[in-house]
Copies of this chain bind each other. A is one copy, B any other.
């Protein structure tokens, strides 16, 4: 493995580019083949994604599973694995002189194949022949669920079906989930590098968190940090004074003294491993009494999850223990009432926490979510719930060493949801609606870290945790804004 460090600026974190050995990809494909056992596996790489006209694309992002098994970041490639014969192909077209003028010289597809231990390459036209031959001989063609519409059309034409009716292979999904869920030490190092970028992003947001600055301004700066040191933000940054909106994208509104700013943002390294952190900071630098009380509950829930998460434990149970603690503490504040166990069973806490404790993370920030949450975060033993709130828990199954999951409790006061539940009497025996009404202008608090499941517990990833305890956040902001 080759590790290249560049110090981009002497005042900034170095970033890291990891080029895995060809052996790693060959071994992954070998393991995939032995899990799937028969048929041919077709892994589609991504193409450019048009933004506002065909030639003006968004920043290229390779498909994560293609990257995992075939490692190459060029557009227009397809990987094929024959499970029985063991033959492997990297499929794609070489470029010509016009492309060289516009995009520079690039390596041939044969060379790209060789770099990742694939012995054969073919032009794109050969893909149709391979698929037709498999269809003629009645072999299974294993596909992952496509999510890009150009790929859907390409597959539809190959298979003779409607683009929105491509059938994915459950055997392939299961095999890829089995492999990608458990991160190796090389992958952990990449995620730690993403967390280092995330640290810069979040501490910069804290430094900028002052009245008059716009949400959009902060989102722009931290997005710039993600691209300066890595590929791109791992998802569109959430930078909002409306923390009660789960995906509150930044507006051009200026920050207002006394409100909370919720920042949920992450980076992807150049190798596309992700980070995902959330911090909630007081605009003006000091939490009010009410803000601190809610923030402390969320911080304690965040810490509780870290004490519970370990191999063999269901993340669903960690989530429920967090919900119990949250309910107990919201009772102390007079926002909830009644029996804690019954309240959690009824899902009353979901008025405040309508999402789950966390999700798998890796080369996708919600790792492999495109395969369907039930195939990644659940299994035959642990089935997803249909209850409001719990249904949004993306990761429920037993933890294993090497899993990377997020720990992200939150408490939100969502006016429309409060009005709805109150009018319908939902969980009325557990909820003190008169008191809750007083918090309708509160917004929301979320704290999120990325944790690695270790042999006997877990640890947060990243060299240093971004300050998250209320006093630490205040101290950090004071120190940075003074400097």
A interface residues, Cβ below 8 angstroms from B: 4, 6-10, 12, 15, 17, 49-59, 61, 63-64, 97, 100-105, 147-150, 152-153, 163-164, 208, 212-214, 216-229, 235-236, 242, 245-248, 252, 254, 270, 272, 354, 363-366, 368-370, 414, 416-417, 420
Contacts and interface: CB of A to CB of B under 8 A. Distances in A.
A149 B150 contact: yes
A51 B56 contact: no
A13 to B, nearest CB: 11
A220 B212 contact: no
12 contacts: A8-B216, A9-B217, A49-B58, A50-B148, A51-B58, A53-B364, A53-B370, A59-B236, A100-B414, A103-B245, A104-B245, A218-B228
A420 to B, nearest CB: 6
Identify which of A101, A235, A364 gathers the most chain B CB atoms within 10 Å of its CB.
A101
Interface SS of chain A: mixed
A90 B228 CA distance: 40
A212 B8 CA distance: 7
Identify which of A105, A213, A216, A221 gathers the most chain B CB atoms within 10 Å of its CB.
A216
Nearest to A50: B147
A101 B163 contact: no
A146 to B, nearest CB: 10
Contacts of A226: 220
Contacts of A270: 216, 252
A31 B392 CA distance: 48
A363 B51 CA distance: 12
Contacts of A61: 51-52
A97 B416 contact: yes
A229 B220 contact: yes
A375 B235 CA distance: 37
A223 B227 contact: yes
A285 B206 CA distance: 34
Contacts of A49: 49, 51, 58
A468 B364 CA distance: 42
Copies in the complex: 2
A242 B100 CA distance: 12
Contacts of A254: 6, 8
A152 B354 CA distance: 35
Given A53-B369, A101-B245, A101-B414, 15 more contacts: A8-B214, A9-B208, A9-B217, A52-B363, A56-B364, A56-B369, A58-B236, A97-B416, A152-B153, A216-B229, A217-B228, A220-B226, A220-B228, A222-B224, A252-B270
Contacts of A229: 216-217, 220
Given A8-B216, A228-B220, A366-B55, A100 B416 contact: yes
Nearest to A242: B104
Contacts of A57: 236
A305 B433 CA distance: 69
A364 B10 CA distance: 37
A161 to B, nearest CB: 13
A414 B100 CA distance: 9
A143 to B, nearest CB: 15
A104 B55 contact: no
A147 B150 CA distance: 10
A458 to B, nearest CB: 25
A387 to B, nearest CB: 14
A129 B149 CA distance: 24
A101 B417 contact: yes
B101 A354 contact: yes
A356 B194 CA distance: 40
Contacts of A97: 416-417, 420
A86 B63 CA distance: 45
A226 B220 CA distance: 7
Contacts of A12: 217
Contacts of A104: 242, 245, 248
B214 A220 contact: no
